[in-house]
Amino acid sequence: MISPSTDSVYSVYSEVHMLEKFESLPAEKQNAILNGAMSCFAANGYKKASASDIAGAAGISKAMVFHYFGTKKALYLYLVDFCCQMMVGEIRERLDPAVTDFFDRIKQATTIKLSVLGKHPAMLGFLEGTYFETDEEVRGAVQAYYAQEEWEQVRTRMTLENLDVSKFKDTADPALVLKLLVRFAYGYLNMTNGKLDLELDSMLREFEACMALMKTHLYKPEYL
């Protein structure tokens, strides 16, 4: 099953029903529908993405969109949860706990995330749209979803747990550094302006350059 788990801290509100008929589809078919829907929302935004557009991009009929998800809003929030579950699941499975250097751990997590984006090219554009979505029908739900305290706790735990933070200068706060890097990533999303054909390797190199600069100023000299 590739859909998000109902007992996860990321499970979405009552609008999103994990419909058995959708989940019973072969994984390849599920992926095709979800990727098509993400692509449509990324290209058009929530308000302008019609059910017909979504159906065409997903390779199904308009009736099946409603059959599987009930409403466009439910589908949109389902996709938000799907993306988060996919990212977190991959990191949990592939992150190497033996890597204890802060910036090496961040690099590893970022590389994993970009590999997910490589498998789901429309995900980046879709996620960008969710961060900056203004339509009142979904804006509140999406903001509340991303603002959940558990989201920050899980992300911080996965990234900072068992790290050797002794390399930082005494005046540096690793948790704050992580937040700054996350803000940088959000800003990068904003700069992409909805493009779906981004060079992921180029993005990773730029992110690594940013981390190298921070490391130079935040680590004790003996660890540089």
Residue 71, SS3? Answer: coil
Of 153-162, 192-201, 214-223, give the lowest mean pLDDT range. Answer: 192-201
pLDDT of 189: 57
Tokens of 158: 């996965």
Q: How many CA atoms lie within 13 A of 8 on its CB side?
A: 19
Distance (Å, whole) CA 41 – CA 218: 39
Sign for the CA dihedral angle at 101, 109, 188, 202 comes to positive
pLDDT at residue 18 in the model: 52
The pLDDT of residue 149 is 67
CA–CA distance, 9 with 153 (Å, rounded to integer): 10
Query: What is the pLDDT of the chain when averaged over all its residues?
Result: 82
The predicted pLDDT at position 217 comes to 95
